[in-house]
Structure 1
Amino acid sequence: MRLKSALATAAMIAGLALGPAAASPEFWQTEWPETDFSKTSIGNWGEIISGGPPKDGIPALSDPSFVRVASERRIGDREPVITVEIAGQAPRAYPIRYLTWHEIVNDQIGGVPVAVTFCPLCNSGIVFDRRVNGRLLSFGVSGKLRNSDMVMYDRETESWWQQAIGTGIVGQYTGVELTQVPAWMEGFAQFKARNPDGLVMNEPNWNRSYGSNPYRGYDSSARPFLYNGEMPPHGIEPLARVVRVGSRAWPLTRVSKAGQVSEAGVTISWQAGQASALDTGRIDKGRDVGSIRVKDASGKDVPHDVMFAFAFHAFWPDGRWMLE
C-alpha cells in the first residue's frame, strides 16, 4: 500500500496519469503544432503514454548557478550526484535531489553545451552534448513516456527524443543520436574528496521538496511503473540495477560483489558510498547502492548508464547480458 500511494503521489507531482490517454498524432497535434509527426521511428503509437499535462509540466532547468563544494551544507554525504569532469573546467556535480523534480538541466561547461538528464522511473542518468549537426538545442520534458522512460523534446524543432538511448524518435531529428558525454553518479562526499575546489549546482528557485523522494520504495517493487513490456531474461529482477555500456549490461550485483570487472574492453569498478535515490522518503537515508566508474584500457572515462534491468531489455532487446 505504501508503494502504491507513493507512486500515485509521484504521478500527480510529475503530471502523469495513472492510465494511458489517447495515443495518436491527431490527439497531440494541438499541443505540439510544430512537431513533424510524419517523421518517426515509432511503429505503434500506443507505446507512448501521455499523462495529459502540457509540455514543461515538469520544468527543465537552464543556466543553473553553482557554489563551491565547501560552501554546500544542504546535501548529505551519500546523496547521489551526476558528476561531469571536462578538461580545463572545474568539475561539476548535479544533485539528484534537484534532478528528481526537474529531470533535465541545460548547461554550458566551457565550450561544451550539455543536457544533464535523469529519469527516475528508469534510474537512468545520462549527460548529452546539446549540439546536433552544428545546431545548439535546448531540451525540455515532454510529459510523455515510452517503456517508462522519459521522452524529451528540443525547443528548436519540438522533435521528441528518447532519453535512455539519446535518439530522436519523432519529428525532424528522428533517427539522430545525441553524443553522450562521459559522466557518472556518485555520493556527494566522493565528489568532494576528489574535487575540493569543485562546483555543485545550487538549489533552484522553485517550490519543490528538494531532498525528498516522491518515488519512495520504488526500486524495491516487483514491477516497473507505467510499463507493459517484456521483463528481463535470466531471472533478473526488473528493477535490479545494471551497468550499461553500449549494448552490454553488467548486473550491479556482480560488479559490487567483485569490486571490479575487466572485460569487453572496459574496467568497471564499484565503491560503496552512494544512497539510492528511489528507496526511502529522504534521499540521503536510502540504502547504499554504491558508485560505478567505467574506464577504457587507457584509463579514460567511458560513457555509460546505471539503469534498471527492464529498461535495458526494452531498449536493447538483443543486447548482451554480461553474467558470471
Structure 2
Amino acid sequence: MRLAALAAAVLISASAATADPGAWKTEWPDTDFTRTNIANWSEIMSGGPPKDGIPALSSPAFKRVANERRIGDREPVITVEIDGADPRAYPIRYLTWHEIVNDSVGGVPVAVTFCPLCNSGITFDRRVGGRTLTFGVSGKLRNSDMVMYDMETESWWQQAIGTGIVGHYTGTELRQLPTWMESWAEFKARNPDGLVMAEPDYPRAYGRNPYTNYDSSQRPFLYNGEMPPHGIAPLARVVKVGARAWPVERLATAGEISEDGLTLSWRAGQASALDSQSIAKGRDVGTIRVKDAQGRDVPHDVMFAFAFHAFHPDGTWMLK
C-alpha cells in the first residue's frame, strides 16, 4: 500500500476515534486513566490498528548467520550484544510489521522496538522494580510515535523516550540498552557465528516497506506538533543521545565527530527502511555508532528530527 493510501485510511480511523479515556475503557478495562502525565488527551491519536492489531512478538526463534538466506546485505538490523550471549540481529524487515520483540539475551529481558513513523529503534531492559514486563502495541500514537503498553498492568509507555505516560507506571523510565542499527552485511562480518531472528509465522509481506518514500516526505504522518528549529527538515535523521541531537547530514559529511565526551561515526552501506518499496533497495543512510571516551557503546537513537523536537522541545541541537 502506498503511503498516501495508507494515510487516508488511517486518518479516517483516527478522526473517528475520540481522545477520551471514557471511550477507551472497553478496550482498556485494566488501565488506570486517573494516573497520567499527559496534559491533553487530544495528544493521543489512533494509529489505525486496534490494540494488538500490530502483533508484538515474544521469545522468537533464531538461526545462525550462515543459515540465513532471505535478508539483503544492505537491509538494516538492530544489533544486541550482551556479555555472556551470542550477538543477535533483529531485522527491520520483521520489526516494521511487529514493532516490538520481547526476548531475553544473556539473562537480560529485553524489548527490541522500532517505530517506523519516527524511525526510532530502541532496545529496553524490561525489568521494572523487580518485575519483568511484557510489551505490546497499543494501536495509539503520540507525536506520531508508538505508544506501547505492558501486559501486566496495561500501563501505556512512550516508545521514543521509554517512559510510562498512563496508568500504574506513569513517570517510570525504562533503561535503554546500548544497541544500534546496522546493515546485515556489517553484522555478518563482525559476528559470523552470531544469531539472527528467524522469520515470524505470520502472513506479512516481510521485506516490503509499507511506508514507501516516507522519509522523503515534507511532513510527518499523524503529527500536529511544532516542526524542528534551525531550518532542519522534519524527516531529517538525527542521532539522539539523551537530550542532544546531532544531524546525520553533519555526521555523514564529517565521517566522525568527537565532542561532549562522545565519538560518533558514520559509515556508508545501510539501506533506509522507509524509502523504496523493497527495504533492501532503499537509499543509503549509513550506519552510526556512538561510543564514550573509553570506547564503550552508548545508548542512542537515530530518529526523525520532528520526533526529537516533540519529545525534547528544550533539547540541544549539535549543529557545529
TM-score between both structures, scaled by the size of structure 1: 0.96
Report the AA paired with residue 34 of structure 2: S
Q: CA deviation at 1:8?
A: 4.4
1:214-293 aligned at under 5 Å gives the runs: 214-293=210-289
Give me the whole-angstrom Cα distance separating, in 2, the residues matched to 1:17 and 1:279: 25
Secondary structure, in 3 states, of the residue corresponding to 1:100? helix
Aligned residue number for residue 150 of structure 2? 154
Superposed CA offset, 1:264-290 (max 9, x none) = 111000011100000000000000000
Aligned residue number for residue 296 of structure 1? 292
Alpha carbons 1:241, 1:251 under 8 Å: kept: yes
* Residue 73 to residue 281, structure 1, CA distance change in 2 (3 Å): same
Secondary structure, in 3 states, of the residue corresponding to 2:15? coil
Give me the whole-angstrom Cα distance separating, in 1, the residues matched to 2:2 and 2:80: 35
Report the AA paired with residue 5 of structure 1: A
Aligned residue number for residue 211 of structure 1? 207
Alpha carbons 2:61, 2:197 under 8 Å: kept: yes
Determine if the alignment matches structure 1 residue 26 to structure 2 residue 54: no
Superposed CA offset, 1:90-111 (max 9, x none) = 0000000000000000000021
Alpha carbons 1:21, 1:52 under 8 Å: kept: no
Give me the whole-angstrom Cα distance separating, in 2, the residues matched to 1:56 and 1:40: 21
1:116-155 aligned at under 5 Å gives the runs: 116-155=112-151
Determine if the alignment matches structure 1 residue 38 to structure 2 residue 34: yes
Report the AA paired with residue 19 of structure 1: S
Report the AA paired with residue 29 of structure 1: K
Question: For this pair of structures, how many residues does the alignment match?
Answer: 320
Give me the whole-angstrom Cα distance separating, in 1, the residues matched to 2:54 and 2:301: 22
Give me the whole-angstrom Cα distance separating, in 2, the residues matched to 1:18 and 1:224: 15
Q: CA deviation at 1:5?
A: 2.9
> In angstroms, what is the RMSD of aligned CA positions?
1.5
Give me the whole-angstrom Cα distance separating, in 1, the residues matched to 2:101 and 2:196: 13
Give me the whole-angstrom Cα distance separating, in 1, the residues matched to 2:48 and 2:81: 37
Report the AA paired with residue 162 of structure 1: Q
Secondary structure, in 3 states, of the residue corresponding to 2:55? coil
* Residue 297 to residue 287, structure 1, CA distance change in 2 (3 Å): same
Give me the whole-angstrom Cα distance separating, in 2, the residues matched to 1:221 and 1:133: 41
Give me the whole-angstrom Cα distance separating, in 1, the residues matched to 2:231 and 2:47: 31
Q: CA deviation at 1:21?
A: 1.6
Superposed CA offset, 1:202-245 (max 9, x none) = 00000000000000000000000000000000000000000000
Q: CA deviation at 1:54?
A: 3.2
Unaligned stretches of 5+ residues in structure 1: none
Alpha carbons 1:64, 1:201 under 8 Å: kept: yes
Give me the whole-angstrom Cα distance separating, in 1, the residues matched to 2:306 and 2:317: 12
Alpha carbons 1:3, 1:221 under 8 Å: kept: no
What's the % identity of the aligned pairs? 75
Determine if the alignment matches structure 1 residue 54 to structure 2 residue 50: yes
Report the AA paired with residue 297 of structure 1: A
**1:168 equivalent among 164, 167, 171:** 164
Alpha carbons 2:118, 2:144 under 8 Å: kept: yes
Give me the whole-angstrom Cα distance separating, in 2, the residues matched to 1:246 and 1:240: 18
Secondary structure, in 3 states, of the residue corresponding to 2:97? helix
Aligned residue number for residue 200 of structure 1? 196
Alpha carbons 2:79, 2:182 under 8 Å: kept: yes
* Residue 2 to residue 203, structure 1, CA distance change in 2 (3 Å): closer
* Residue 184 to residue 51, structure 1, CA distance change in 2 (3 Å): closer
Give me the whole-angstrom Cα distance separating, in 1, the residues matched to 2:183 and 2:114: 15
Superposed CA offset, 1:79-134 (max 9, x none) = 00000000121000000000000000000002100000000000000000000000
Alpha carbons 1:56, 1:141 under 8 Å: kept: yes
Aligned residue number for residue 70 of structure 1? 66
Give me the whole-angstrom Cα distance separating, in 2, the residues matched to 1:53 and 1:198: 34
Secondary structure, in 3 states, of the residue corresponding to 2:146? strand
Report the AA paired with residue 283 of structure 2: R
Alpha carbons 2:83, 2:106 under 8 Å: kept: no
Superposed CA offset, 1:29-82 (max 9, x none) = 111000000000001000000246431010000000000111100000000000
Superposed CA offset, 1:153-208 (max 9, x none) = 00000000000000000000000000001100000000000000010000000000
1:92-111 aligned at under 5 Å gives the runs: 92-111=88-107
Unaligned stretches of 5+ residues in structure 2: none
Report the AA paired with residue 5 of structure 2: S
Alpha carbons 1:7, 1:215 under 8 Å: kept: no
Report the AA paired with residue 303 of structure 1: P
Secondary structure, in 3 states, of the residue corresponding to 2:50? coil
Alpha carbons 2:64, 2:194 under 8 Å: kept: yes
